[in-house]
Structure 1
Amino acid sequence: MRRLLDGIYRGAGWAAGVFMVGTLAMVLAGVLGRVMDFHLRGTDSYAGFCMAASFFLALAHTFVKGEHIRVSLVLQQLRPKTLRVVEIACHLLGATLAWVLTWFSARLVWQSHVLNDVSQGMDATPLWVPQIAMAVGAAVLAIAVTDRLWGVLSKPDWQPPHSETAFSE
């Protein structure tokens, strides 16, 4: 199970990287189009869609690698029992918020699909298509935070991961 979850987190990170390259490609296409006097419809919109997809898909990978902001200056001052309570409370709150975000993101995708909502740009892209990346990224983050919460609850001596040792190899 650990290998499967780590693979999902890693895959989401790679997908985020692909969408980051997509953002670059769309921006370059728009710039080159203006310089060479041709117009590619929707490049600005697609750059934004790719950027949002990159952001949401990178959330879980970044979380698992221990790269999210932690207030370690405060946490270092806590006693072990207090630190454990704080870690459990923070992970419980984080998991709850991530699952709520997942619910509303999936609901937004469904509503956009049912209502045939399209982008305001000249290309009129159905909005549920780029919104899928947000829902998937939120779901993978919710799984990652829940996974970490389980780790904190099941190991009394749990320590937060460092960038170099986050994935089990």
Structure 2
Amino acid sequence: MSGEPATHEEARRVSSLLQGGAKVLSRIGGALSAALILIVLAVTFVSVFNRYVLGKPIMGVDEGTGFLVVAIVMFGAAEALRRGDHIRIDLLFDHAGPRMRWHLELWSLASVILFSALLLVAAWHTVLFSRAFGAYSTGYLSVPMWIPQSTMVVGALLLIVAALAALLEHITGRRT
């Protein structure tokens, strides 16, 4: 019996550490996402200025910003989930009682984890294939495709970590 409180306290510390780590990683992803938004804005402004004022378009801007938009979404998804800013359909949730809401939230977080894990596996295989095959983008930039595809791997990992922390928080009823 004397080992139980120490084990319970140890589990609580591990839980806090995991949730804290997930919070830090999610915030880093969110900050990176915000920085990329500013970069896309600046690059787009320069591109429009060059095209319409100077009459000299910059080639490859559309391709590059397209890759960056994927990175923005993938890096920002974990922070959006952590903050509760993600999109979900609340039709069932709004009409359910507290007990059913608890189960719906559990199901929702488990679904995010499953989807993210499937995305992680698919993205990982895509990156490995693109790298082994030597695939390059077909636009002006001719970027090795594994580089922009890697953002999906990182984003899926961040989302899994954030969703696992949220699931742990939901089950234990503790907020960090």
TM range, normalised to the smaller chain?
A: 0.7 to 0.9
Q: Residue deviations 1:149-168, cap 9 Å, x none? A: 2222233xx7xxxxxxx8x4
Q: Residue deviations 1:5-44, cap 9 Å, x none? A: 2111000001001111121122223222223133433111
CA distance in 2, matches of 1:25, 1:69: 27
Q: What is the aligned partner in structure 2 of residue 87 from structure 1?
A: 105
Instruction: Please provide the CA RMSD for this pair.
Output: 1.9
Q: What is the aligned partner in structure 1 of residue 168 from structure 2?
A: 150
Q: What is the aligned partner in structure 2 of residue 96 from structure 1?
A: 114
CA distance in 1, matches of 2:61, 2:94: 47
Q: What is the aligned partner in structure 1 of residue 41 from structure 2?
A: 24
Using the TM superposition, give the Cα deviation of residue 46 of structure 1 relative to its aligned residue in structure 2, in angstroms: 0.7
Q: What is the aligned partner in structure 2 of residue 63 from structure 1?
A: 81
* Matched-pair contact (CA < 8 Å) for 1:56–1:134: yes
Extract unaligned runs of 5+ from structure 2. Answer: 1-16
What one-letter code is carried by the residue in structure 2 that aligns with 1:148? A
Please, which moves more after superposition, 137-146 or 82-91?
82-91
* Matched-pair contact (CA < 8 Å) for 1:112–1:127: yes
Please, which moves more after superposition, 50-59 or 35-44?
35-44
List 4+ stretches of structure 1 deviating above 3 A.
70-74
Using the TM superposition, give the Cα deviation of residue 101 of structure 1 relative to its aligned residue in structure 2, in angstroms: 0.8
CA distance in 2, matches of 1:128, 1:46: 14
What one-letter code is carried by the residue in structure 2 that aligns with 1:129? I
Question: TM-score of the superposition, structure 2-length normalised?
Answer: 0.80
CA 1:78 to 1:14, structure 2 compared with 1: closer, same or farther past 3 Å?
same
Please, which moves more after superposition, 22-31 or 126-135?
22-31
As a proportion of its length, which structure holds more helix?
Answer: 2
User: Quick one: percent identity of the two aligned structures?
Assistant: 22
Q: Tell which structure's C-alpha radius of gyration is larger.
A: 2
Q: What is the aligned partner in structure 2 of residue 11 from structure 1?
A: 28
Q: What is the aligned partner in structure 2 of residue 161 from structure 1?
A: none
Using the TM superposition, give the Cα deviation of residue 140 of structure 1 relative to its aligned residue in structure 2, in angstroms: 0.4
Q: State how 1:22-61 maps to structure 2 within 5 Å.
A: 22-35=39-52, 36-61=54-79
* Matched-pair contact (CA < 8 Å) for 1:24–1:47: no
Q: What is the aligned partner in structure 2 of residue 124 from structure 1?
A: 142
Please, which moves more after superposition, 103-112 or 81-90?
81-90
How many residue pairs get aligned? The number is: 158
Extract unaligned runs of 5+ from structure 1. Answer: 159-165
Using the TM superposition, give the Cα deviation of residue 113 of structure 1 relative to its aligned residue in structure 2, in angstroms: 1.2
